[in-house]
Chain A
């Protein structure tokens, strides 16, 4: 048995038949791209913009509980810290692949276990409403109560041309929005090549990138860590490269390009 969940699905992968792209698929998809002009939201624990691996953050917003508002959530602009280090890891990974993207930290992990679902939901909505091209979510919810609201917001993103990249939960079982068809779902596979990309012909988890025992940026330096969390930002970074190079592609076309650029695609 091997975990993070879904990692095993990417061992001994069968070949998948992809739409033909001109020439080398990967070269066509992101060759020469730096991600310039693309806005990437990191929905997480906050981002340490001063971390050398992150290289600056272009915008910050934090979701906080607000019993007086209709949604129960208030947005707080302005620089914030990374409460854990996890969001900094994700942002640093994205920056390593797409050096010229604009990174926005959307902090949805607060200081209380109660009401965290509403903060998560509001963070995704903020990213869509503020024109993010790519959203990295290295977290998901197991709550059945959030299935409907997260499904709706994932559809809003899909039709609004925001690509949601979601890590599968490290533990088995359904989580949202990672297993919705409208998102790009990601699990971790072994290796050290940051451009590793594979497609699983037996979804719901569709893509894999590296995320097992890899060195990642963290508050105060770096750590060696394992998790689907660290695979998702690799795919978010590649997605940003694709979007910068091919700005006219829709969300579902971007997924088709990721499919075609997977190493088990023919």
Chain B
């Protein structure tokens, strides 16, 4: 539950930051064969959450398989891409930014996508930093943070009996990146040990 809430908040903020039509986050399924969309905000959001796509297809699949971010400025002439997206979201973007969520070993645990980030006006918080390259840089940094959120939230969700007041404190640790996640893991393991002892 923690993860769904955190990711929904993340994609909402990222969509606003880019002034984008939509932002979505998909996580790799346990068998590594697919990406399942778990959070989305903006156009087509209702239709994409819960959708599972084979990992070997499309822009998101390439990002997941290679662990690399990519910016595609005009997908409108790619028939296969458009059909994939249309089937999945009923929203066909013109441009797309996508970045992987990576674990510390460099393995892909998910993908975050920004559809149709605005350009040429003042509606993006990136302001003068707009432009494909800068946007890709910003999304890569954000994806790193989201990856920490995913890993930490997964830990919180998997440990029964974590006091609710501990959750925001653990979430704050994510801002410290991988070091914070390691620290949070130690805290959680200690808490779990304590809880087991009390019981």
Contact = CB atoms under 8 A, between A and B. Distances in A.
Interface of A: 1-4, 7, 45, 83-86, 109-114, 116, 139-145, 169-172, 212-213, 218-227, 229
Contacts of A116: 65
Contacts of A222: 77-78
A109 B65 contact: yes
Contact of B134 (A2, A45, A83, A110): A2
Interface in B48-103: 54-59, 61-62, 64-75, 77-81, 99, 102
Interface of B: 28, 31-33, 54-59, 61-62, 64-75, 77-81, 99, 102, 105-108, 129, 132-134, 136-137, 140
Given A145-B105, A171-B68, A225-B70, A111 B77 contact: no
Contacts of A86: 62
Q: Is the interface of A mostly helix, strand, loop or mixed?
A: loop
Contact of B133 (A143, A220, A223, A226): A226
Contacts of A114: 31-32
Contacts, number: 132
Q: Which of A1, A3, A110, A144 has the most CB of B within 10 A?
A: A3
For the complex of A and B, list the 10 residue pairs with the smallest distance between their C-beta atoms, beginning with the closest. A142-B106, A111-B56, A113-B32, A3-B137, A220-B79, A114-B32, A224-B73, A224-B74, A143-B106, A226-B71
A118 B79 CA distance: 31
Contacts of B57: 83-84
B31 A112 contact: yes
A110 B67 contact: no
B73 A3 contact: no
Given A109-B56, A113-B28, A218-B78, A227 B70 contact: yes
Contacts of A221: 77-79
A3 B137 CA distance: 5
Given A142-B106, A221-B78, A3 B140 contact: yes
B61 A84 contact: yes
B136 A4 contact: yes
A229 B132 CA distance: 15
B105 A110 contact: no
B31 to A, nearest CB: 7
Contacts of A7: 133
Nearest to A84: B62
A139 B133 contact: no
A83 B57 CA distance: 6
Contact of B67 (A142, A144, A220): A142
Q: Which of A86, A109, A116, A226 has the most CB of B within 10 A?
A: A226
Contacts of A112: 31-33, 55-56
Nearest to B30: A114
A212 B134 CA distance: 11
B134 A85 contact: no
Given A4-B136, A142-B102, A171-B99, A220 B77 contact: yes
